[in-house]
C-alpha cells in the first residue's frame, strides 16, 4: 500500500515538473530553461529533477510525450464526434498547428528534431509520436472516403503529405518567420487539404 502511494506521489511530482517545464518554455523560450531555473520555479533542487529524468534531454522528451498524450486524447475525441468528415479534418488541422510563436510543444519538437540524428532512443520516441498522428489522420480520411464524403485517394500517401505540409507551416509559425502566423497557416493548410483530399 505504501509502495503504491509512493509511486502515485512520484507520478504527481513528475507531472508537476513537466507542466512547469512547458510553462517555462512558453514564457521564456527553451534556451532559458535550465535545470537550476526549473528547480527554482518548483522550489526544489536540480538534483531532485535529475533523480526523475536523468538529463535535460530526457526531461524535454518526457515533457513532449506528456503534452502529446493530452493531444492524443483530444484527437481520439475528435474522431468520435458526430460531425461531417470535412469538419473533422478541419478540426484536426486546428489541433495540429501551433498556437503561435511561443507554443511550447512546437518549440520542443523543433529542438528535439535537431538532436534525433545522433540519438536513436530520441528518434524512436519521435517516430512513435508521429505514427500516432499518421494513424489517426488515416482513420479520419479513410472513413470520409468510405462514407462518400471525400473523393477516392491513396489514404496513407495523402495523410503523409498533409502532415509534412503541417510540419513545415508549424515550423514557420513557431520560428516567427515573416508573414507566418496561425491564421495564415490554417488557411494554407485548409487549401492544401482541399486539394489533397477533395470532396466527393
CATH number, domain with residue 48: 1.10.10
User: What pLDDT sits at residue 6?
Assistant: 52
What percent of the chain has a predicted confidence (pLDDT) above 70?
95
Question: Model pTM?
Answer: 0.85
pLDDT of 82-121, one tens digit each?
Answer: 999 999 999 999 999 999 988 888 988 888 888 788 888 8
What's the burial of 32, exposed, middle or buried (CB within 10 Å: 0-12/13-18/19+)? exposed
3-state helix, strand, coil in the chain (%, to 5): 75, 0, 20
Domain that holds residue 80: 56-196
Do 67 and 48 share a structural domain?
no
Count CB-CB contacts under 10 A for residue 161. Answer: 16
Residue with cell 498556437: 99
Task: Kindly report the CATH number assigned to the domain that includes residue 113.
Answer: 1.10.357.10
More confident site: 137 or 36? 137
Residue found by looking up cell 533523480 in the block = 51
Whole-number Cα distances in Å, 87 to 44, 100, 141: 45, 22, 11
Residue 50 and residue 73 share a domain: no
- pLDDT class of 154 with cuts at 50, 70, 90: very high
> What is the phi/psi pair of residue 199, to 5°?
-65, 155
Can you say how many angstroms the Cα of residue 4 is from the centroid of all Cα atoms in its chain? 30
Does 17 lie in the same domain as 60? Answer: no
Could you tell me if 154 and 74 lie in one domain? yes
Burial 106-123 (b: 16+ CB within 10 A, else e): bbbbbbbeeeeeeeeebe
115 and 147 housed in the same domain: yes
Residues 105 and 127 in one domain: yes
| CA atoms of 153 and 172, how far apart (whole Å) | 28
pLDDT for res 7? 56
Amino acid at each position: 500500500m505504501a509502495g503504491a502511494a509512493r509511486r502515485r506521489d512520484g507520478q504527481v511530482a513528475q507531472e508537476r515538473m513537466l507542466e512547469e517545464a512547458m510553462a517555462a518554455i512558453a514564457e521564456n523560450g527553451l534556451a532559458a530553461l535550465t535545470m537550476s531555473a526549473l528547480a527554482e520555479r518548483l522550489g526544489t533542487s536540480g538534483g531532485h529533477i535529475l533523480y526523475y529524468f536523468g538529463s535535460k534531454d530526457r526531461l524535454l522528451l518526457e515533457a513532449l510525450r506528456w503534452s502529446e498524450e493530452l493531444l492524443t486524447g483530444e484527437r481520439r475525441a475528435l474522431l468520435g464526434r458526430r460531425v461531417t468528415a470535412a469538419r473533422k479534418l478541419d478540426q484536426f488541422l486546428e489541433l495540429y498547428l501551433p498556437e503561435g510563436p511561443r507554443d511550447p510543444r512546437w518549440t520542443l519538437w523543433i529542438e528535439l528534431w535537431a538532436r534525433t540524428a545522433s540519438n536513436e532512443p530520441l528518434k524512436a520516441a519521435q517516430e512513435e509520436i508521429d505514427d500516432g498522428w499518421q494513424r489517426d489522420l488515416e482513420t479520419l480520411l479513410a472513413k470520409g472516403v468510405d462514407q462518400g464524403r471525400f473523393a477516392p485517394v491513396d489514404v496513407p500517401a495523402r495523410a503523409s503529405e498533409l502532415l509534412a505540409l503541417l510540419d513545415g507551416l508549424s515550423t514557420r509559425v513557431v520560428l516567427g518567420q515573416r508573414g507566418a502566423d496561425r491564421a495564415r497557416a490554417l488557411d494554407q493548410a485548409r487549401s492544401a487539404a482541399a486539394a489533397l483530399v477533395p470532396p466527393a
